Chain A
Amino acid sequence: MQIKPIIGLEIHVQLATRTKMFCACPLEFAAEPNSRTCPVCLGMPGTLPVMNRTALEYSIKAGIALGGRIARFSKWDRKSYYYPDMPKNYQISQYDLPICSEGSFEIPKPDGSTRPVGIIRAHLEEDAGKNLHEGLDHTRVDLNRAGTPLLEIVTKPDIQDADEAYSFCVELQRLVQWLGISEANMQKGQMRFEPNVNVAITDGGVEYRTPISEVKNLNSFRSVRLAIAYEINRQVEAWKADHDYTLAKKGKMNFGWNDAKEATEFQRGKEESHDYRYFPDPDLVPVTVDDATLARLGAEVGELPLARQRRFIDTYGMTAKDCEVILADRATSELYDDAIAQVADAKLLTKQFVGIWNHLASARQSTIAGLGVPQVSVVELAKIVADGTISASAAMQVAEKLCEKGGSALEIAQSAGLIQERDESAMQAWIDQAFTENPQAVADALSDNPKKSKAAPGFLRGQVMKISQGKADPKLTGELIEKKILSLKC
């Protein structure tokens, strides 16, 4: 018996506009209920919706980044349903002319390769409000969310397993954040997932397909992975128990997700919910996209995160771990990319990003670019470490000051007394002092015990660093110590 899961995803992404899709109400998370509403999003009769230009442009950018065809002509349709979270009794959406269609999105595989997942469509629509009824004998309605711009992305059933679905969702989150078109914050419900799952079972040369389950409203990557894995397992078991458990005989079914039980739950009575009676919205005129707009938005999309990651690995010898830090956000990766042109040593710059800058950024709950240290200072700090002006460990102190008050890295290092001493006579004095104060170590260095004679120079170097208060150039110190030991041996 052979089992092949067939998985597609429907994802809603909330766009990071300041106002709603069709009215100028501000979008604000956790505002007082119904305080962010107006006659348009309350669904009052006689009101006229007007499209948000930014929402439209964000959806086009997403479409370009998803490798899709951008519709030069699209329109708006009413999706009818009756529910108090949508008081006009229809949702404005795009039915037959979505803004983007036929795309393909590369997702990373654990072995470092990538795999394309087909995108059927991505269209714009408005979100509904919220119904609250927990612990109540009635329902409360908050329409602050009603009219929020959403991008609905529908993949082909190309996804092979729960892990691949997981990495698709993660990569999509990175993409929309990268493009600056969504915060994609899970806690705020700005990304919601609906996997469609069934299984092709080949048994005795016959292929059976289990009924498609649509799992509704998942709001974490974890629940996407768990729900899909659960469904694959459940469907195979259900088919084993009853070979009539097939798509042809049972159709499509809706399931909810119980996070506490980590199980899907069958939802009854949904058949009619697809009776949406779409028709063109007479209140909204169609949208056309011209060449100039498409070219401008395409330029803003630029290099995508996965492509940039590949380039950074190939060109700068980054590891996957380095990429996690340096490609965490677009601005940081651009800061690196611009700085590297002026720093010869890519390894050193990478090390400073992953070590120093990342450390400072985490402490300030910021991104590296968000620290606000200008590129010229980032370059300067790398340069003065590369040429031995300051030690790698002193760089942290300088970086900290650069975050706090800016300025020149070299001047900060000078006023903090961090410039390494490379004047041989000054260094010789420190070395002589270290030798005088540590006769045992000197004796060890000269002894025949290979273990002792090997460890002693390192110890002496540490003493020189201490005496010099870190100013001695460590490399030169090492050389001078070796020289002195050699002269004592003769």
Chain B
Amino acid sequence: MPAPIDESQVRHIAHLARIKLTDAEVAAFGAQFANILKHFETLSEVNTDGVEPTAHPLPITNVLRDDEPVEPIGVEAALANAPARETPYFKVPKVLDQETA
């Protein structure tokens, strides 16, 4: 049995994804996390000694494209699905400056 996921871990993951959870949701997701981890526990029973780690399931490499520009879709199309806009910008709630890279 994997260690149960405690409430603070659920809240931490939710915070990283900027998702607000109710107490009931924290409890429900905690249980679901535990199930997912249990599933991986089962996978870890397979003996993988001597098996190379897989970076990608397909046996292909180097899918590359030439450095040739294609006409972009345009501001109107880019903003078409945005819940809020201030043309030509996307408009989102104020965020604090934080490191991004």
Question: Residues on A close to B: CB < 8 A?
Answer: 12, 17-19, 24-26, 32-39, 42, 44, 50-56, 73, 75, 80-86, 89, 91, 97, 125, 127-128, 131-133, 136-143, 150, 216-217, 254, 267, 269-270, 272-273, 275, 277, 280, 282, 284-288
Contact = CB atoms under 8 A, between A and B. Distances in A.
B61 A285 contact: yes
Nearest to A80: B16
A88 to B, nearest CB: 13
B12 to A, nearest CB: 8
B65 A138 contact: no
Query: Which DSSP category, helix, strand, loop or mixed, fits chain B's interface?
Result: loop
B3 interface: no
A273 B89 contact: no
22 contacts: A26-B69, A26-B72, A32-B88, A35-B88, A37-B73, A37-B78, A50-B63, A51-B63, A51-B65, A53-B65, A91-B101, A127-B101, A131-B97, A132-B89, A138-B93, A141-B91, A142-B88, A143-B90, A267-B99, A273-B98, A284-B56, A287-B61
Interface of B: 12, 15-18, 55-58, 60-70, 72-75, 78-79, 81, 86, 88-95, 97-101
Contact of B79 (A34, A55, A91): A34
Contact of A138 (B16, B61, B91, B99): B91
Nearest to A74: B55
Contacts of B95: 83-84, 131, 133, 139
B97 to A, nearest CB: 8
Contact of B99 (A24, A136, A254): A254
Nearest to B70: A24
Contacts of A133: 94-95, 97
B89 to A, nearest CB: 4
Interface of A is mostly: loop
Residue from B58, B63, B67, B88 with most neighbouring chain A CB atoms (10 Å): B67
Contact of B17 (A50, A89, A143): A89
Given A42-B78, A51-B63, 9 more contacts: A17-B67, A35-B88, A38-B73, A55-B67, A127-B101, A216-B99, A267-B99, A270-B98, A275-B16
A161 to B, nearest CB: 26
B67 A138 contact: no
Contact of B69 (A19, A35, A81): A19
A39 B16 contact: no
Given A270-B98, A273-B98, A140 B89 contact: yes
Contact of A36 (B66, B72, B79, B100): B72
Contacts of A52: 64-65, 67
Contacts of A216: 99
